[in-house]
Amino acid sequence: MNIILIGAPGSGKGTQSRRFIEKYGFVQLSTGDVLRGAIAASSALGLHAQSFMNQGKLVPDEVMIDLVDSYMDQQEGKSVIFDGFPRTVAQAESLNSMLKKKATQIDKVVYFKINPQILVKRLTGRRTCSQCGEIYHVESKPSSKGHLCEKCGGSLTHRPDDREEVINERLAQFEKNTGPTIEFYRKQGNLVEVDSEQEPDVVFEQIIKILALAN
Ligand SMILES: [Zn+2]
């Protein structure tokens, strides 16, 4: 099963993604991880991608698709969660044809709907563990260990891109780039929306139902 999670930064898709990895053994595919992995392994594709990055350029879509292709081959048929990719309609189309060659497809696209004002509140209070990536919130989910992570003791950080002015810019960018991608999948008939203003447990249950996974 291949699913795509689409949602503005702070819509809670990261939290849900982690739950699916833990409970159902999904592997996550984010472009950042795929790029870092290929570069660290010094694969031909990784080095090719790095040559663009070294020039301060974006990695072109066709290179990114090849990287995604090779990443999927390494997962030996495990279910994949796409996080933050595809970002554009062009990428979504390339992904479709790439998956078709593998005789597979995107099964569901889960869109995390949320009011922008709630997002700003969520993000400005968000703290992330610098070691294990666990996510906390100063109001709704504080760590019992103060500035340290409950799970691993790592220090909690406020990411620079979680500040209000940066958030507003990121939300505008998200609307501009991802709006058409959401419409693309809606037309394709596999877009489902979840109300991600609800508690994470409720959202998780809803997605399990949508994907018809065993609870
Ligand atoms: Zn931690």
Name the residue ranges covered by the structural domains of the chain.
2-26+79-114+174-211
164 has pLDDT over 90:
no
104 has pLDDT over 90:
yes
Residue 135 Cα to ligand 1 middle (Å): 8
Residues 6 or more apart whose CB falls under 8 angstroms from that of 172 comprise none
CATH number, domain 2-26+79-114+174-211, options 3.40.50.880, 2.40.50.140, 3.40.50.1970, 3.40.50.300: 3.40.50.300
Residue 72 Cα to ligand 1 middle (Å): 28
The single residue of 13, 108, 122, 127 carrying the catalytic annotation is 13
Residue 71 Cα to ligand 1 middle (Å): 26
126 is an active site residue: yes
206 pLDDT band, cuts 50/70/90, is: very high
87 is an active site residue: yes
- Angle formed by the axes of helices 164-188 and 89-101, nearest 10°: 50
Q: CB burial class (10 A; 0-12, 13-18, 19+) of residue 117?
A: exposed
- To which H or E segment does residue 141 belong? none
Please name every residue paired with 29 in a beta bridge, in sequence order, or none if there are none: 82
pLDDT at 143: 96
The single residue of 78, 145, 159, 209 carrying the catalytic annotation is 159
Mean pLDDT of 74-98: 92
Q: Quick check: 181 and 9 in contact, CB under 8 A?
A: no
pTM of the model: 0.81
* CA max distance for the chain: 50
- Rounded distance between C-alpha atoms, residue 105 and residue 164, angstroms: 37
Tokens of 211: 């994907």
Q: Quick check: 39 and 49 in contact, CB under 8 A?
A: yes
pLDDT at 52: 94
- Rounded distance between C-alpha atoms, residue 116 and residue 130, angstroms: 26
159 is an active site residue: yes
> How far from 43 is each of 59, 70, 168, CA to CA, in Å?
15, 10, 37
Top pLDDT among 104 and 160 is at 104
161 has pLDDT over 80:
no
